[in-house]
Chains A and B, each alone.
Chain A
Amino acid sequence: MDQTAVAQANAALNIVHEIATLLDTGLDREEVAILIALVENGVNPEALAEVVKELRREAAALRAAEMDSRGL
């Protein structure tokens, strides 16, 4: 991968991250980078959104369980 391609990819990553922030999606740069890579791989974006949601839900559930256990 040459220099310009890297620069372009970096710029795109920045922009998409900015949009994600604008939309208040709570994604960090690393996650955005992975998501871009996935999308470029041809993964269905809506399915990907479901995956992210599931991940969030799972994380929230874990946290809730942890809090419950601590609270107990």
Chain B
Amino acid sequence: MEATTRESAFLIEKLIDAGLDPLRREGIHTDAAARRVLSYSLRLLGSRFALPDVRDESLALQSLRRKVMQQGHNHQLPRLDDLQLRLVMAGTPPETRSALFTLLTSLPSQRDAEATSLPQLPPIQSSSLHFAPSRQQPGSKQASAVLRKDPKDQAASLREAAMRQDSRAAADARSAGNFGEVSLVREVLCACQAFDGEHVRYKGAAMKGLGGFEIAAAAGIPPVQRSLMLKLCELGWLFRKTQCHAKEEVMSDGGSAIRKAFQAALQHELNSLYQLMAQLDALAGHPLPAGEDTGAPYLTLRRLAVWIGEPLQRLRTLAALADAVVDLAGAQLISALDAFTMHGEPGASGTVERCLRQACMPLLEMIRCWLFEGRLTSSPGDFFITASPHSKTKPGSLWRTGYLLEEGMRPPFVSAAMADKLLRGGKTLIFLRECCGDAEFEQSLARTPMAAAASQLSYGQTDQLERLVEKTAARIDRHVVSTLLDKYSIVSHCSAIKRYLLLSQGDFVAALMEGLGGELTRSSREISEYGLAGYLDAAIRASSAQYDNPDVHNRLRIRLEHGAGSETGWDVFSLRYSVDEPLATVLTDAGAAQIQAVARLLWALKRAEHSLSAAWLLLNTTQRTLSRLTAKAKRAHLPCTGTGAVLGVLKNLQGLRNEMAHLCTNLQAYLMFEVLERAWTQFTAQIAAAPDLDSLIGAHGEYVDALMAGALLCEEHEEVQHELTQLLASLLTLLPQLRRLQFLVEGAHVEIDTRMRNMVDRTRAKEWAITELDAPLRGIDEDEVFEVGKGLVSVTRDYETHLRTFVDLLPTQTPMDLNFLLFRLDKVIPTRMLAGDGEQNRELERSAEKRNGRTALF
């Protein structure tokens, strides 16, 4: 660094030497001047001279060309281009080239310097040098040092600048007979390209933060031209403003792609304006015609006003656009731009459309990536579909919560329906890729003509876009549905759930009951899932379930939900069917829980049925034992007490069991045939016709909801459900009473059997079969029978109360679906009121007879 500076200083010294050499040869004493220039130069170069922001070669060349044109050497331009090309060929680095061009542009030409003998105008007040004092750094040689040139020097340089301008103005005035028209035109053209001219300058923050162009009062321009110039400078003002918008934030990365595209569009429009300006610049080089109009091209302020009329309109539109979208990004920006296309003027709406077309390109690309590749490529805040955090382990969360539609971000040319299709399409692709492991479909999709068409879409082709989205989404949907139906055979899994969990496969359920029935009556603490798994396997092997897919068997397992510990196996037992992705997206956890609730109800019914079947068996046995007992007693002429009472209670038991079994059968029939099968039929019909994954999920949801509603498990039916649970519990209380009775009868039977055997033995021994020493037969304790009868009455009362409440609750809460069930249950409801305690036995007998007669009808 130090070396470079020293070398530069040396070179400067040489330069000064070379510059002053001719004078020295003439014998003029130059040492003092050389020292002065050297110290000034070193101070200047040591300071932080304001560097232009962009040191682009093409810009530097452009200004060089402009300078050549200003000098009126238009014919030299090709030669200049040629020289530049040769310089490139000579291997000069671009930075050096641009620096050289800048240097050459800034150097005064000999002609300017020599034109001193021209009329003088008052010198302009401000310095033509631009320094950037704000960049001062402590310790370094500072720019202000440059400004501290001795006043004589400054005045001289100002004088020189003023002379130079005036000379040109005067020359123009001479040629046109008009006050500096050509130079004024140049000034305006400079201002229009956001450069400061000699007189026309941009004053930032002139009023309330808004900058504006000012014409130096000292320039002495007549008021008419002055106001015309100011008017023309509007273009420069708009240009500056638009350029600010086009440049801002371009540096910061990670911004909105759509915003960047819009800024690029603005820049593009500005560039086309640059072209026009260059042409106008060239035109401004022509001299004004001296006399009458010869048709030769030339430019005056008024002609310029006509020239820039159209670009002015365009820039006004652009500036308005840029202002309208200043804080917007993404689709909101596009919406804001879209609003401007309603402009009635074709030129303005054309400009807006051009910008919009550019701005939409990233968005259309995002749409393409999303729909055809299932990728979100947008920077945040650009796209109307966003990814939200979702856990990969939780089944179905990708589909349900993984990607969301942001309504506010939807661009105007995407309708709500189309946005939905887009969301589903892309989501389905991701679902296929991540949950089904199917990446091939994506590749095949990329080969379709749709994908090719999508990459060529542009703004305004809304219809094409719509058709494209429609077709592609339909194709994706078809594929995912067929994948789930065929590859993952979702229907067979649903059917397995129905057959095993919802107990619709009779032989399997019967086999399972047979095995499990005994186990489940034990306490829940004594049984284990592993212990019961054997029964499940046995049931599968014993029934036609064995022909099912082994995959289905593997998914089926027993679950015991241990609670407080006082339950029996029946209370904690349930069957489960485990599913994973992608099935879990359709067969959701919530759905599984609902199905579990239905299964629990069916299971409770099954348990009641099981208990009632056992009761039937016991009843028959007891009846037979009793008749045998009576017959034996008669044959042996033995007294047998209590048989009549037992018979009465048995009859009542029989009647009640029949009623209960009737209820049980009807409830089961209702649940199986009216609820489950109907929902299943609807479900299979829907699933076969499902157009997309959402409707597949919807169909399953409806199926489960229909089950829940039919089984009265919805929240609004809580009361009915409660009553039903109690009713089913009351069905289980019959068996214990029967057991007590059977115990009595069996006891009496054993007693009489023993006695008869004794009698036979004695007879064989030639003794009296009956002696007075024999203890009287205990027979059946009538008190006990009476107790059982009383228990039975309470069971009956319990059952009937619950049944009545249940039936009463039904019609008020459910629609017509339940009418058939109600009709059948109505027959079960006893017409009589519950009898008082005193008459209960006879009453029971009579009602039992009545009921027996009636139940025989069914």
Contact = CB atoms under 8 A, between A and B. Distances in A.
Contact-residue size bin, chain B (C-beta under 8 Å from the other chain): 35 or more
Contacts of B19: 31, 52, 55-56, 59
B80 A22 contact: yes
Contacts of A37: 11
Instruction: Provide the main secondary structure of the chain A interface.
Output: helix
A15 B297 CA distance: 33
Interface in B152-196: 156-157, 160
A18 B83 contact: yes
B14 A34 contact: yes
Contacts of B103: 35, 39, 45-46, 48-49
**Chain A CB within 10 Å, residue with most, of B12, B16, B19, B64:** B19
B90 A23 contact: no
B15 A51 contact: yes
Contacts of B156: 57, 61
Contacts of B83: 15, 18-19, 22
Contacts of A47: 44-45, 47, 49
A49 B45 CA distance: 11
Contact of A39 (B64, B100, B109, B111): B100
Given A20-B104, A59-B20, A62-B30, A25 B49 contact: no
Contacts of A57: 156-157, 160
B99 A39 contact: yes
A62 B28 contact: yes
Contacts of B96: 36, 39-40
Contacts of A27: 107
A45 B33 contact: no
B33 A58 contact: yes
A28 B452 CA distance: 62
Contact of A54 (B41, B67, B68, B73): B41
A55 B36 CA distance: 9
B145 to A, nearest CB: 13
Contact of B68 (A23, A28, A46): A23
A65 to B, nearest CB: 8
Interface string A5-48: 00010011001101110111111101100111111111111111
A30 B26 CA distance: 19
Contact of B28 (A38, A53, A63): A63
B15 to A, nearest CB: 5
B100 A11 contact: no
B87 A44 contact: no
A51 to B, nearest CB: 4
A16 B18 CA distance: 18
B129 interface: yes
B7 A45 contact: no
A61 B694 CA distance: 90
A9 B689 CA distance: 81
A69 to B, nearest CB: 10
Given A19-B80, A41-B7, A51 B12 contact: yes
Contacts of B129: 50
Contacts of B14: 34
B104 A30 contact: no
A58 to B, nearest CB: 5
Contacts of A59: 19-20, 23, 33
B44 to A, nearest CB: 5
B87 A38 contact: no
A57 B49 CA distance: 20
A43 B321 CA distance: 42
B456 interface: no
Interface in B52-109: 52, 64, 67-68, 71, 73, 76, 79-80, 83, 86-87, 90-92, 96, 99-100, 102-104, 106-109
B126 interface: no
B113 A56 contact: yes
A58 B68 contact: no
B669 interface: no
A70 B157 CA distance: 25
Contacts of B18: 28, 30-31, 34
A27 to B, nearest CB: 7
Pick the most buried of B47, B90, B113: most chain A CB atoms within 10 A of its CB. B90
A61 B116 CA distance: 13
A17 B83 CA distance: 10
Given A12-B90, A31-B15, A31-B18, A23 B109 contact: yes
Interface string B820-839: 00000000000000000000
A25 B112 CA distance: 9
A66 B96 CA distance: 38
Given A51-B40, A55-B19, 20 more contacts: A12-B92, A15-B83, A16-B104, A19-B64, A23-B64, A25-B104, A30-B18, A31-B19, A34-B15, A38-B15, A41-B4, A43-B8, A43-B45, A45-B100, A47-B45, A51-B41, A58-B20, A58-B37, A62-B23, A62-B33
27 contacts: A12-B91, A16-B100, A19-B83, A20-B104, A25-B108, A25-B110, A34-B18, A35-B100, A36-B96, A38-B12, A39-B96, A39-B100, A45-B102, A46-B52, A46-B103, A47-B44, A47-B47, A50-B44, A50-B49, A50-B106, A51-B15, A51-B44, A53-B157, A59-B19, A59-B33, A61-B33, A66-B26
5 closest pairs, A vs B, by CB?
A: A49-B106, A45-B103, A26-B110, A45-B102, A24-B109
